[in-house]
Structure 1
Amino acid sequence: MDTCCHSSLSATLLEGFPESLPPKFLVEHLDQLLVVDLRCSQLYSLGHIRGSYSLPLKKKKLLNSEVADSYVHKWLRKLSKFVDEERLKKNCVFHVVLYDHSSTETTKWNPIWKLFNRCHQLRLFDGSIFVLNGGFSLFSHLYPKDVVGCRVIEGSEKTAALVPLFRCNMFQDSAPCKIFSFVFLGNERNASDRDTLESLQITHILIVGEELVAHFPGVYEYKQLMIRDLETQELHPFLEEAIDFIERAKYSGKVLVHCYAGVSRSAAIVLAYLIYLGNTFEESWKFLVSRKKDIQPLGNFIRQLQQYEEQCKSLQLFDSCV
């Protein structure tokens, strides 16, 4: 078999990427890689990387120890078929790149790591397998011309927030999720629904997103955090004012914390608040997932929250010694 693609990529360029590939590399070698979209078919149809295959990954099954093994085997058989088809078409070995909404390196907080590790263990095809660093979220922001089915929304002259169409249609029908008696986690549609806000007795609204607006100024007390849903976004500069706002709302009313979809940026802020209350990151994660199962903060947000946990521990230790 002619392994021109395999030799040209693996021998030189791929050696520096043991687990994840940067978006720039993917763009430069897109025609030599088999790119697989792990998101649901609806998200794929609304926006995906050019030339990628849709092979949805059901994360609940992957995290269920009783069915995970059989599910992984079925999924990998489907992947092998895609690889074999490409090999026959172009007569070369293809390396596989997996991505979901915000794939980063294969940490235990991302279900992809189980699939990634199993792929390496089984070695079902000749090429290597990687995770796209930053996932669809980062890639679509950096290379919109290589994405099918996205549109750009201008937030200001300085910043342009790329909002894939899937975010406009998915997640938006859900009601605000009650985290505590005084904290609700929701999305943009919730924040614009006056009847819902009144029924929940909301008094404060924490907007987590630079592209969003206050719908009822003067009616509710607002705080806006200029946070973008990107792997390059820093959370730390915003955490103190976010927590102060939630704490203030606790004593005078109820607060809705929301971003656009209610699953990434706003979830990260609520996780930070839970850590602030004295919980570990893992305890905070489990608690929030028990309340809202569809949260999916970016991998970079998760890493920063783990760092925030260490900072909180250091402060608590210092206070106890004073």
Structure 2
Amino acid sequence: MSNWSSFYSRRVTCKQDFQKPLAGGETTVHQLVTALHSTKTGHKPLPGYDPNVDSREYYRAQQNIDCNEVYPRIFIGDGITAKNKAYLQRIGITHVVNAAEGRKFGLVNTDGNFYKDTLIRYIGFNMLDLPSTDISQFFYSAAGFIKRAHDSGGRIYVHCVQGVSRSATLVIAYLMIEKGMLAMDAIRTVRLSRDIHPNEGFLRQLALLDNQLRRQRLR
């Protein structure tokens, strides 16, 4: 088959996949918003600390830490915690995903050099928490990084500034791409352990990803 014929065949296949009806219809933003707000976040102790220890110094050490394990060995937290290398090492973090890399307002100024005095491996994505941001361009590269880390037994810390939108969206996409979860199930999984709030634009892109993955599984 010539290159042109192969290209044309892929285009036809993609068009057919796009037209394939989905059981239950298309995943919509409204469905994802409903899944988000109908799932109550439970209280869990801070990773790395024993809730039964009663000590002023112990409590003080936890004050500036914001971190939750949302899936076995996958953690979501904020940018301040991302800079607390002692804490990351305390809970055995081996990989860090910065979903807000950069020096401007609304970003977290870390990179691979920041962790060079540790064994932590790093990847960063420069994007703002705006509905117009194309976060989908990072779905597969982030999911691949997290998968390789997770498959090797690593512990992954995914963060943005507050740990509620950009980082949560990347973890949800990972669960969809690599763990085969539907978007609503992935959102509920993360939301059960952390009070996340992906913006509407990110939810729209997760809905599109969900429909694409569902059609691929029809093949």
Counterpart in 2 of 1:298?
Answer: 199
Counterpart in 1 of 2:174?
Answer: 273
Counterparts in 2 of 1:45-60, with a 5 A limit? none
Q: AA paired with 2:116?
A: P
Once the two structures are superposed, residues 274-319 of structure 1 have per-residue CA deviations (whole angstroms, 9 ceiling, x without a partner) of 2121111111111111111x2111100001001111111122222x
TM-score (norm 1): 0.45
From 174, 181, 191, give the equivalent of 1:289.
191
Cα distance between partner residues in 2 of 1:283 and 1:110? 12
Cα distance between partner residues in 2 of 1:290 and 1:260? 20
1:249 aligns with 2:124: no
1:184 aligns with 2:75: yes
Counterpart in 2 of 1:234?
Answer: 134
Q: Secondary structure at 2:207's aligned position in 1?
A: helix
Cα distance between partner residues in 1 of 2:156 and 2:139? 16
Once the two structures are superposed, residues 79-99 of structure 1 have per-residue CA deviations (whole angstroms, 9 ceiling, x without a partner) of xxxxxxxxxxxxxxxxxxxxx
1:207 aligns with 2:207: no
Once the two structures are superposed, residues 14-46 of structure 1 have per-residue CA deviations (whole angstroms, 9 ceiling, x without a partner) of xxxxxxxxxxxxxxxxxxxxxxxxxxxxxxxxx
Shift of 1:108: 5.4
> Unpaired segments of 5 or more residues in structure 1?
1-105, 115-171
Cα distance between partner residues in 2 of 1:283 and 1:264? 17
1:198 aligns with 2:198: no
Cα distance between partner residues in 1 of 2:84 and 2:123? 18
Once the two structures are superposed, residues 40-85 of structure 1 have per-residue CA deviations (whole angstroms, 9 ceiling, x without a partner) of xxxxxxxxxxxxxxxxxxxxxxxxxxxxxxxxxxxxxxxxxxxxxx
1:263 aligns with 2:154: no
Shift of 1:248: 0.9
8 Å CA contact retained: 1:210, 1:227: yes
From 190, 211, 214, give the equivalent of 1:310.
211
By percentage of residues, which structure has more strand? Answer: 1
Q: Secondary structure at 1:177's aligned position in 2?
A: strand
Cα distance between partner residues in 1 of 2:132 and 2:162? 19
- Compute the RMSD of aligned alpha carbons: 2.1
8 Å CA contact retained: 2:31, 2:184: no
Relative to structure 1, the CA distance from residue 269 to residue 199 in structure 2 (aligned partners, 3 Å threshold; closer, same or farther) is same
Cα distance between partner residues in 2 of 1:316 and 1:110? 24
Shift of 1:109: 4.7
Relative to structure 1, the CA distance from residue 107 to residue 258 in structure 2 (aligned partners, 3 Å threshold; closer, same or farther) is same
Shift of 1:174: 4.5
Shift of 1:107: 3.6
Once the two structures are superposed, residues 171-190 of structure 1 have per-residue CA deviations (whole angstroms, 9 ceiling, x without a partner) of x9443111223211111111
Relative to structure 1, the CA distance from residue 244 to residue 218 in structure 2 (aligned partners, 3 Å threshold; closer, same or farther) is farther
8 Å CA contact retained: 2:32, 2:184: no
- Structure with max Cα Rg: 1
8 Å CA contact retained: 1:184, 1:256: yes
8 Å CA contact retained: 1:182, 1:249: no
Cα distance between partner residues in 1 of 2:151 and 2:117? 19
8 Å CA contact retained: 1:208, 1:225: yes
- State the percentage of identical aligned residues: 28
User: How many pairs are equivalent?
Assistant: 153
Q: Secondary structure at 1:232's aligned position in 2?
A: coil
Counterparts in 2 of 1:143-182, with a 5 A limit? 173-182=64-73
Cα distance between partner residues in 1 of 2:151 and 2:183? 25
TM-score (norm 2): 0.64
Shift of 1:236: 1.7
Cα distance between partner residues in 1 of 2:184 and 2:142? 21
Cα distance between partner residues in 2 of 1:195 and 1:210? 20
Q: Secondary structure at 1:229's aligned position in 2?
A: coil
